[in-house]
């Protein structure tokens, strides 16, 4: 194919890859959030769910897909961002007012992305590769993830850091989910309004759903 028509080189093509990988990642955070809510049911259900995940033979494949989506989402988006900085080498002395001003959430997507990346790395270290306690509910030994979660979220510093990161994740989703439809070509007066509401609700549900866990453990759950 002619070089200049290469999909992966064009800004729109790359944006569409960011949108597609973003779609995978946003579906993942929704399921992750829903699984976390089992903490409200019982420690046993929580651990059993975690165990059923790690013992699923497809988990490794899914993990690779997610890692690939995350890395490509990040790299392509950052490359686009650098390109955008180059395209606008000088800022205005004043910023635009009202609708002619850029909303701060969409303006800081790259910074949010960086923060979320740092969060994900630390989060994996804390939990996925953290202390592995053991528990037995009569069906053989399994990891007592619940105990680790309780331990971690009794530390107010962790709770605070998670709150910040999860609010940023919510903001990132608010702009990201709305944008991914636009970037993939969905925008029509018939459903545009519904899409915007959907994106907002999606961000609120995921972000608040995640926030429930540290808050619940810190303030309500007693051993």
Q: Which range, of 42-50, 78-86, 161-169, 215-223, touches other proteins by CB under 8 A?
A: 78-86
CB of 101 to other proteins, least distance (A): 7
Lay out the site mask for other proteins across 117-156 (x = CB under 8 A, - = otherwise).
----------------------------------------
Distance from first CA to last CA of the chain, Å, rounded?
Answer: 63
Alpha helix locations (H) across 55-191?
59-87, 104-107, 109-123, 145-152, 156-184
* Total of chain residues touching other proteins, rule CB under 8 A: 50
Residue 54, sorted as left (phi over 0), alpha (psi -120 to 50) or beta, turns out to be alpha
- As measured in angstroms, the least distance from the Cβ of 179 to other proteins is 4
- Single residue of 57, 100, 138, 222 touching other proteins by CB under 8 A: 100
Distance of closest approach, residue 104 Cβ to other proteins, in angstroms: 10
- DSSP conformational letter for 97: P
Phi (first) and psi of residue 198, to 5 degrees:
-60, -45
Name the segment binding other proteins (CB under 8 A); options: 44-52, 132-140, 154-162, 171-179.
171-179
Nearest CA to 158 out of 146, 150, 147, 169 is that of 150
Sites for other proteins among residues 178-217 (CB under 8 A): 178-179, 181-189, 192
Closer to other proteins by CB, 23 or 135: give it. 23
Q: How many other C-beta atoms lie within 10 A of the C-beta of residue 71?
A: 12
172 binds other proteins (CB under 8 A): no
Length of the chain: 223
Cα torsion angle, 194, 189, 106, 84, sign? positive
Scanning the structure block, which residue is given the tokens 């013992």? Answer: 55
Where do contacts with other proteins occur on this chain (CB under 8 A)? 1-2, 4-5, 7, 9-16, 80, 83-84, 86-103, 106-107, 109, 175, 178-179, 181-189, 192
């Amino acid at each position: 194919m002619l070089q200049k028509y290469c999909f992966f080189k064009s800004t729109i093509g790359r944006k569409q890859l960011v949108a597609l990988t973003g779609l995978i990642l946003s579906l993942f955070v929704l399921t992750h959030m829903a699984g976390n809510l089992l903490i409200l049911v019982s420690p046993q259900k929580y651990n059993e769910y975690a165990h059923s995940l790690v013992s699923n033979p497809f988990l490794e494949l899914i993990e690779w897909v997610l890692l690939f989506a995350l890395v490509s989402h990040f790299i392509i988006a950052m490359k686009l961002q650098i390109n955008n900085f180059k395209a606008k080498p000088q800022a205005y002395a004043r910023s635009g007012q009202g609708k002619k001003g850029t909303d701060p959430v969409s303006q800081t997507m790259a910074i949010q992305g960086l923060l979320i990346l740092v969060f994900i790395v630390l989060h994996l270290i804390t939990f996925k590769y953290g202390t592995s306690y053991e528990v037995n509910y009569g069906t053989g030994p399994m990891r007592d993830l619940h105990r680790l979660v309780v331990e971690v979220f009794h530390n107010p510093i962790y709770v605070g850091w998670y709150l910040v990161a999860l609010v940023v994740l919510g903001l990132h989703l608010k702009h990201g989910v709305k944008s991914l439809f636009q970037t993939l070509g969905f925008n029509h007066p018939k459903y545009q309004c519904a899409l915007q509401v959907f994106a907002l609700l999606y961000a609120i549900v995921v972000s608040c759903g995640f926030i429930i866990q540290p808050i619940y453990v810190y303030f309500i759950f007693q051993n």
